[in-house]
Structure 1
Amino acid sequence: MGFPRGRRRLVMVVAALLATATVAVIVHRVLAPAEVSTLARGDYPAPARPPAGVIGRLPVAPLIVDARLRVYAAHRQVYADRPVDGRYRTSPYWSYRRWPAELTGIVASGSTVVSRWSDGQLVALDARTGGVLWRADGPKPAPSSAVARRTWAATVWEPRGLRLADLPDGRTVLVVSGDVQARAVELSDGRELWRVDLPGNCRSDVGTTASGQLIGLDRCAGPATIEFRDAATGAVRERWRPPGGSDELVVTPLGCRTGGSDCLALRTAGPGDAGGRGWLLGPGAPVAAPALDATGAVLVGEQAVVVLDGVAVGRSARTGAELWRSADLGAARLLAGQPGRVHLLTEANDLVTLDPVTGRQLSRFALNVGSDGTGWAPGAVTAEDGFVAVERLRKPVDPTGDDRRYYYTGEAVILAAT
């Protein structure tokens, strides 16, 4: 005997509905917006002060946070490892994932790490635990045609439209720019301070100043103009053009923290210029600083360092007076600067670190690890908390090549203490 025909049909309908519901639940769980936070297990590490030398190699670019952790980016993930001076990348100390949004930038100040996502969300994490401190809405990132390379260096070292500004009263502000809007929030709690609508496609933000202003380049009406906006209030304090400057400008911030934050100066140039003009930044209009005119000049505090005819020269950025010169480095190139240190790379890929005030050599060693050798070209660089990290690229450098052709090895980033 079997089921009567009517009952059999009812059973089939119920079975089909159950199957559909099961599939719907699975699809929802897989595709629905979600976040996964894996908190730290173990104590927050102490600050590391390793001796000068190569630490190790990494497959992705690290953001040094609080001199204790290395924070990394992935397609939909922010994660950290420890110790900061570990030879290789280790299992995550903590991790934060979102779906389906994509990670577009990271910045950090003290023990706070802020991530920006493709849907405009800002998520602040406590570096000590990986826990979420706050969430806030921000403008969606402007579209970018740049290729996301496998080291994620641009995401962690040069995040577009995501910058910090330290205010004179001790507060830190996070300024977030999109295509048609900019917003600022308190770093401590995510509270919105201001938002302004911006004309699209003709204005860009290039950094923040050490005196608490957002630097914008406005090409919307007439000649390109540099705009200084108060990071605390959103009010435009100054609109400025270099005297006798081109109707179009290329603006390069100088003396900044990682990511173009808290910059001390900038260089302006017209399209196709071989050099430019340097300017010190402060509360008022920029002040001419010819010591920063040369392309490639590095500013560390009040000192400008440049390589001229193979000689490294340190000058007062304010007066131009020569402070020192170092002629024994060969055809070295300036790599980066950070408080109390300026870093150069020799033809043999020795990393040389000098005191920017006196020119005294603080350390010198080959940027080589294991049997990798030194036959590579430097790519993106960061310098912070006494560390230097450098992408190693295959010679000759092919910007259009895929990652296997572009990078020197699978673990393309070399990390050193100076």
Structure 2
Amino acid sequence: MGFPKGRRRLVMVVVALFAVAAVAVIVHRVLAPAEVSTVARGGYPAAAQPAAGVIGRLPVAPLIVDARLRVYAAHRQVYADRPIDGRHRTSPYWSYRRWPAELTGVVASGSTVVSRWSDGRLVALDAPTGRVLWRADGPAPAETGVTVRRTGAATVWDPRGLYLTNLADGRTALVVTGDTQARGVELAGGRELWRVDLPGRCRSDVGTTPSGQLIGLDRCAGPATVELRDAATGAVRERWRPPGATDEVVVTPLGCRAGHSGCPALRTAGPGDAGGRGWLLGGGEPTAASALDPAGATLAGEQAVTVSDGVAVGRSARSGGELWRVDGLGTARLIAVQPGRVHLLTDANDLVTLDPVSGRQLSRFSLNVGSDGTGWAPGAVAAADGYLAVERLREPVDPAGDDQRYYLTAEAVILAAT
């Protein structure tokens, strides 16, 4: 005996409504904005002291944090593993995910890791625990045109529009820029220090200095001009036009501590320049530094370092006087600097590390692991806390190729202690 026709219709309507409600709940749970924080359960590892040499190989680019952790970027996740000298990537020590925003940049200072997301959100994490320290809103990231490949190197080694710098009172500031706005944020607690409107894509970021300035290149109203903006207040303190520069001038930061953060010098170059002109950054106008003029020269502490015809030369960046020279390097080229270390890569992919003050060789070894060999070309490189990581690209390098063609192996990043 069935239901009467009217009641049957009512039951069908109720069932349909329940089904729609259930689907709505599922869709909401899947698609609604959310974050998942998985904090560390083990103890914070001590700083390791591995012998100089290759440590291992990784599928993704590590950001070395506090000399204790490796932090990585995924599409919608930032996570860490340990130990820092582990041969392979291990299970996450901690992890932080957001949905539906995408991760666009990661920087770190001391034990604080800051992630930036496609909706402009800034999230600071505590490196020892992975716990959220603070959240803040920032400007939406500008389109950079940079391709983020599977290693995530562009996200953790050179996040454009996300910079760190030290203020005069000892605080560390995070400077965040987009197409039309810049903001300064106090790293310690996430408090906003200032916000200013920017004129648009006719202005671009170059980086930050070690002493509290955001470097920009302004082409909006008149000749191309370098501007130095106070990271404590947001006010432009200096506008400077390189002598003889045209509107096509290219400004390259030199000696940066990480990515484009903490850069004590820059080089300006225009069409037809053999190298350009080097400049030291301080409190006022940039100061000419001829030792940084040659293409490929960089700054390591107070020393300008160049490599040419198998000879590495260190000069005083201020006086230009030669301090040391090391020969017999073949076709080596300078690939990275960090405090107390200058890293050169030979044509046989030997990594040579020199003391920038004396030129003394600190270490030399082949960048080879397992049976991979040394028949590869270097890609993106990062150096910090005595470590160096480099992407290995398949030769001949095909910038337009997919990741499988572009990288040497699935574990394309080689990590070394220097």
> Would you call these one fold, judging by a TM-score over 0.5?
yes
Matched residue SS, 1:158: coil
Matched residue SS, 1:357: coil
Is this contact kept in 2: 1:307–1:313, CA < 8 A?
yes
Q: Give the Cα separation in 2 of the matches to 1:76 and 1:159.
A: 15
TM-score, scaled relative to structure 2:
0.99
1:271 aligns with 2:268: no
Matched residue SS, 1:19: helix
1:132 aligns with 2:94: no
1:335 aligns with 2:335: yes
1:298 aligns with 2:298: yes
Is this contact kept in 1: 2:180–2:197, CA < 8 A?
yes
* 1:353-382 Cα distance to aligned partner (Å, 9 max, x none): 001111110000000000000000000000
| Match in the other structure for 1:224 | 224
The letter of the residue matching 1:168 is: A
Is this contact kept in 2: 1:350–1:367, CA < 8 A?
yes
Q: Give the Cα separation in 2 of the matches to 1:55 and 1:309.
A: 30
| Match in the other structure for 1:179 | 179
What is the CA-CA distance between 1:144 and the residue it aligns to?
Answer: 3.2
| Match in the other structure for 1:163 | 163
| Match in the other structure for 2:347 | 347
1:405 aligns with 2:405: yes
Is this contact kept in 2: 1:382–1:389, CA < 8 A?
yes
Q: How does 1:283-322 map to 2 (within 5 A)?
A: 283-322=283-322
What is the CA-CA distance between 1:273 and the residue it aligns to?
Answer: 2.9
* 1:161-206 Cα distance to aligned partner (Å, 9 max, x none): 0000111211000000001000011001111000000111100111
Is this contact kept in 2: 1:343–1:352, CA < 8 A?
yes
Q: 5+ unaligned residues in a row in structure 1: which ranges?
A: none
| Match in the other structure for 2:382 | 382
| Match in the other structure for 1:236 | 236
| Match in the other structure for 1:69 | 69
Q: 5+ unaligned residues in a row in structure 2: which ranges?
A: none
| Match in the other structure for 1:86 | 86
Matched residue SS, 2:296: coil
* 1:370-407 Cα distance to aligned partner (Å, 9 max, x none): 00000000000001000000000011111111101111
Question: What is the RMSD of the two structures over their aligned residues, measured on CA atoms?
Answer: 0.8
The letter of the residue matching 2:100 is: P
Is this contact kept in 2: 1:166–1:211, CA < 8 A?
yes
Q: Give the Cα separation in 2 of the matches to 1:189 and 1:123.
A: 11
Q: Which runs of 4+ in 1 moved over 4 A?
A: none
What is the CA-CA distance between 1:148 and the residue it aligns to?
Answer: 1.6
TM-score, scaled relative to structure 1:
0.99
What is the CA-CA distance between 1:77 and the residue it aligns to?
Answer: 0.2
* 1:305-331 Cα distance to aligned partner (Å, 9 max, x none): 101222111111111100111111111
Greater shift after overlay, 258-267 or 142-151?
142-151
* 1:20-74 Cα distance to aligned partner (Å, 9 max, x none): 0000000000000000000001100111121100000000000000000000000
| Match in the other structure for 1:38 | 38
* 1:192-229 Cα distance to aligned partner (Å, 9 max, x none): 00000011110011111111100000010111100000
The letter of the residue matching 1:190 is: G
Q: Give the Cα separation in 2 of the matches to 1:245 and 1:137.
A: 37
| Match in the other structure for 2:205 | 205
* 1:120-141 Cα distance to aligned partner (Å, 9 max, x none): 0000000111110000000000
Is this contact kept in 1: 2:63–2:72, CA < 8 A?
yes
Percent identity reads: 82
Q: Give the Cα separation in 1 of the matches to 2:307 and 2:119.
A: 43
| Match in the other structure for 1:53 | 53
Matched residue SS, 1:318: coil
The letter of the residue matching 1:60 is: V
Is this contact kept in 2: 1:246–1:269, CA < 8 A?
no
What is the CA-CA distance between 1:272 and the residue it aligns to?
Answer: 4.8
Matched residue SS, 1:229: strand
Q: Give the Cα separation in 1 of the matches to 2:110 and 2:73.
A: 18
